[in-house]
A and B are shown apart, each in its own frame.
Chain A
């Protein structure tokens, strides 16, 4: 016979919680200071849990990323692209269309998806390209070297070179509506999450396709582990890990972590150094799991709204998260 005790959640001893009162759309950490920035549904950005709200967009922040060197790159439903450190600078104003996706790379590449266009700017804020797509861009990523961009859309994704003189995309075709898109750290794989609760992948070197189906919900969050061995994905009632080694993911079974409750995993963040994954669920549960051992560390209990944002500190010693109901927290793992 076993006795059940309530799990201890790390947030109780090592967490700091704040109530922001607006949907936490995304979290990024400043590349210069490591401070987390919280992009909110009321159009404000909070730099640090106790930072004063700064009204960077008129409606809602729709996307946030760590900007090239420092600060935060945000897109809003006011059609603007902004960068904020101490002050906010508007980098682009694209009219009535929402800026739904942003990405930035330390090499000095910034991208903002707005309707069918992907606007590409350099580190100085100079517009470099406006790339047209056959339908609305629904996901953006920049490769590990900062040389290529990929934009997902209906019936596939388009890959572009930042430095190309003539802009002609390599079109990765696959019928259907594609959402979030991601480069593998090795630069040879691109994976997208589709409308029909599946993932689709392309191996660029030989044009092979990968299909991963069986998710009960749409995958809205996914990330590769530090060295790219695993793709950790949301959209199931557990963390689903797809192996990108030993011939995988084709023909290799996925691994599942932290399943059991019939609640959908909504957010994933992979640790910057180790094969460790943080996961947030639709009921507000947050946990951290080690892939090799399957060991789970409970971080936050359910109850404060579905997890809508989750991010590791770039040094890996702290985890920040936020919920649809407007709660945000940082949990610090560092030795005391």
Chain B
């Protein structure tokens, strides 16, 4: 990763959630930074900025053999164009419509070489309306996806709900996405420093934001389609087993897996391995040595649709180096072919 890459913040959320208010706050605050803003054609209000680009949200399939690999063709072009005026802005903010699936936006930053060289995805920030979220979750698929994809969720319009209502909403959000940071606000009045420069896709940051793992608890609530499954393994993993297993899981189930993140302890290795995936596009590396006294737990979170929790748990546990080989082989074989 080079410092030359322009950080990109993706702002999602439903119409009326407070996305544009947040955007205008980011732009008007006196932080000395200049942004290029990519807005969608159905933007709510005017955006007051020198460099505003209208986008068409053209989602394209990449013919790279990966059936779920869609990218935003307009973003590839826009980022290429913005690089021609490099040096005159410090970051890019991409606003998406409330109806947009965030996956193609995120995948654009992993699937296109030129975009990858020029820019890096800093984070996906989702603004939700505390009062209307239950209704949105009930009637749309996108509201869930935007929560599932988020690194930061701004729970806005808190003045319209009481504390109990707020806690219920937070529980719903946590069930979908345990890894995201949640900030409450009333008029999108959150510290800008908490929105920008999050480096949420930097493997090294994954370890800093490990959620409380509720291994064994079923996070599936009655009316959500997307759920998260978190697991931990106390014994170190066999890297070959894990690689073969996760590759197979992503290949078979990648379309339904929105985000996967893990912190892994490998057998006979003193380094922390961090792993992340957006659908089938995966990335992993050793990020630092385990600290003295640090518990060498392997932890993984899957966020997706129709996840078979026992299969994922047993498979992950079978990747432990001391688990019986026959168990592992049986778990791997489950993912042998799409059901």
A interface, CB within 8 angstroms of B = 22-23, 25, 41-42, 59-62, 77, 96-98, 100, 115-116, 135-136, 138, 154, 175-177, 195-196, 217-218, 324
Chain B nearest CB from A39 CB (Å) reads 10
Q: Is the CB of B85 within 8 A of A60?
A: yes
A166 to B85, CA, bound (A): 40
Given contacts A23-B85, A42-B85, A177-B60, contact A59 B51 (CB under 8 A): yes
Q: Is the CB of B85 within 8 A of A41?
A: yes
Q: Is the CB of A138 within 8 A of B77?
A: yes
A97 to B86, CA, bound (A): 19
List residues of chain A with CB within 8 A of the CB of B85: 22-23, 41-42, 59-60, 77
List residues of chain A with CB within 8 A of the CB of B51: 59
Chain B nearest CB from A84 CB (Å) reads 18
A115 to B64, CA, bound (A): 26
Q: Is the CB of B53 within 8 A of A98?
A: yes
List residues of chain B with CB within 8 A of the CB of A96: 52-54
CB-contact partner of B73 in A100, A135, A196, A217, under 8 A? A135
A98 to B61, CA, bound (A): 23
Q: Does B29 touch A at the CB level, under 8 Å? A: no
Q: How big is chain B's contact interface, by range?
A: 20 to 34
| 8 pairs of residues in contact across A and B, judged by CB atoms under 8 Å | A25-B84, A41-B84, A77-B81, A96-B52, A176-B60, A176-B63, A177-B60, A196-B63
A218 to B71, CA, bound (A): 16
Q: Is the CB of A77 within 8 A of B60?
A: no
List residues of chain B with CB within 8 A of the CB of A42: 85
Q: Is the CB of B113 within 8 A of A62?
A: no
Q: Does B196 touch A at the CB level, under 8 Å? A: no
A177 to B80, CA, bound (A): 15
List residues of chain B with CB within 8 A of the CB of A98: 53, 81
A41 to B63, CA, bound (A): 31
Chain B nearest CB from A112 CB (Å) reads 15
Kindly report which residue of chain B lies nearest to residue A264, judged by CB atoms.
Answer: B113
Q: Is the CB of B76 within 8 A of A195?
A: yes
Known: A175-B63, A196-B62. 17 other contacts (CB 8 A): A22-B85, A23-B83, A25-B84, A41-B84, A62-B84, A96-B54, A98-B81, A100-B77, A116-B56, A135-B58, A136-B56, A136-B77, A138-B73, A154-B73, A176-B60, A195-B112, A217-B113
Q: Is the CB of B113 within 8 A of A60?
A: no
A62 to B81, CA, bound (A): 7
Q: Is the CB of A77 within 8 A of B53?
A: yes
Interface residues of B in 69-83 (CB under 8 A from A): 73-74, 76-77, 81, 83
Q: Is the CB of B73 within 8 A of A136?
A: yes
Q: Which of B63, B85, B114 is most buried by chain A, counting CB atoms within 10 A of its CB?
A: B85
Kindly report which residue of chain A lies nearest to residue B64, judged by CB atoms.
Answer: A196
Interface residues of B in 144-196 (CB under 8 A from A): none
Q: Closest 5 interchain pairs by CB?
A: A41-B84, A96-B54, A23-B84, A60-B85, A60-B84
Kindly report which residue of chain A lies nearest to residue B51, judged by CB atoms.
Answer: A59
List residues of chain A with CB within 8 A of the CB of B83: 23, 324
A176 to B62, CA, bound (A): 7
Kindly report which residue of chain B lies nearest to residue A77, judged by CB atoms.
Answer: B81
Chain A nearest CB from B237 CB (Å) reads 34
Chain B nearest CB from A105 CB (Å) reads 25
Interface residues of B in 294-339 (CB under 8 A from A): none
Chain B nearest CB from A309 CB (Å) reads 11
A315 to B309, CA, bound (A): 70
Given contacts A176-B63, A196-B64, contact A23 B86 (CB under 8 A): yes
Chain B nearest CB from A314 CB (Å) reads 25
List residues of chain A with CB within 8 A of the CB of B56: 115-116, 135-136
Kindly report which residue of chain B lies nearest to residue A216, judged by CB atoms.
Answer: B113
A14 to B19, CA, bound (A): 56
A137 to B98, CA, bound (A): 25
